[in-house]
Structure 1
């Protein structure tokens, strides 16, 4: 089970990154920066927060607290991106940090205790905590992206009215163990 957990969790993180990537790719810089209501977070701000969190949580995560002294969380909620390329570079730096921390893990690491704000977590608990946090925010990115693009939005899941076609294709394949992201 532990081996399947590590490979599955990597696929889950890759999946959520792909949703974020596909959303960010569809938006212009103006759409990335748009706040739908005053004092809410734009896609750019949420992206900055996710990447900032990743850098703090995953840098030396086995040996240092996940809330780094150098992190300025409040600054993550200020849009400072000057270009889409700058936003993507920061986004990818956060993901690179996460993947570089998780890929070398072994089954023996899963029960190690690490700390986030002095609260002990097993590595498994910390991974689950962060997966849920990123999924929450990436759902926000996708929703805001869809609002921005309206009818020009390219769906990232099963489009409305296409469930029957989608299921027919899935059930046309032989039963087998595979990850739901394998066909994406």
Structure 2
């Protein structure tokens, strides 16, 4: 494998790993909880999903040939809950649409593409830098999704990693090949 192939494989693995964490959170929540907002009007999970999908569609549609901030994107509208009684299934359609666009683009990239220059809001980025920018952006929002889920589920939260107090047992199981 070339360094570019190793990088792209690693990038896809990391992004899909974060996607799974968000989806495991969605699975623990009902439709109403996806629209719950704590005091102070922070974003709810539906809004975060809508924003992430809008970002993915804008950044990765014609990724190598047009500015990543598309004229058709309505970013400000992404931060409103226009479906306050919307279902999880409807939200997941929005979610998958963004991820499908992102992954199709990543799967199409070739080694020579990584050093090309693309633009985001007219600012030049190497393709690799633009990808790293998104690798920082999406996990940031997925962390928000997990945090909101954990707040809502409280003691009923099913840990998505090593549960509190479980590090030693986890490490022993890993060491024994389990």
Give the TM-score range, shorter chain.
Answer: over 0.9
Any unmatched runs of 5+ in structure 1?
174-182
Counterpart check, 1:123 vs 2:127:
yes
CA distance in 1, matches of 2:93, 2:39: 27
| Partner of residue 35 from structure 1, selected from 34, 37, 53 | 37
Task: Please name the residue that 1:162 is paired with.
Answer: 166
For residue 2 of structure 1, report the CA deviation from its aligned partner.
2.0
CA distance in 2, matches of 1:101, 1:2: 15
Task: Please name the residue that 2:53 is paired with.
Answer: 51
Task: Please name the residue that 1:74 is paired with.
Answer: 76
For residue 43 of structure 1, report the CA deviation from its aligned partner.
0.9
CA distance in 2, matches of 1:13, 1:49: 16
CA distance in 1, matches of 2:40, 2:147: 17
For residue 120 of structure 1, report the CA deviation from its aligned partner.
0.7
Counterpart check, 1:25 vs 2:30:
no
For residue 105 of structure 1, report the CA deviation from its aligned partner.
1.1
TM-score (norm 1): 0.91
TM-score (norm 2): 0.94
| Partner of residue 63 from structure 1, selected from 62, 65, 80 | 65
Q: How many residues align?
A: 174
1:24-62 Cα offsets, whole Å, 9 max, x none, are 121111111011113211111111111111111111111
1:137-173 Cα offsets, whole Å, 9 max, x none, are 0000000000011111111111111101111122234
Counterpart check, 1:139 vs 2:150:
no
Any unmatched runs of 5+ in structure 2?
none
CA distance in 2, matches of 1:119, 1:169: 48
Task: Please name the residue that 2:106 is paired with.
Answer: 102
What's the Cα RMSD here? 1.2
CA distance in 2, matches of 1:109, 1:165: 44
CA distance in 2, matches of 1:170, 1:107: 35
For residue 84 of structure 1, report the CA deviation from its aligned partner.
1.3
CA distance in 1, matches of 2:98, 2:56: 5
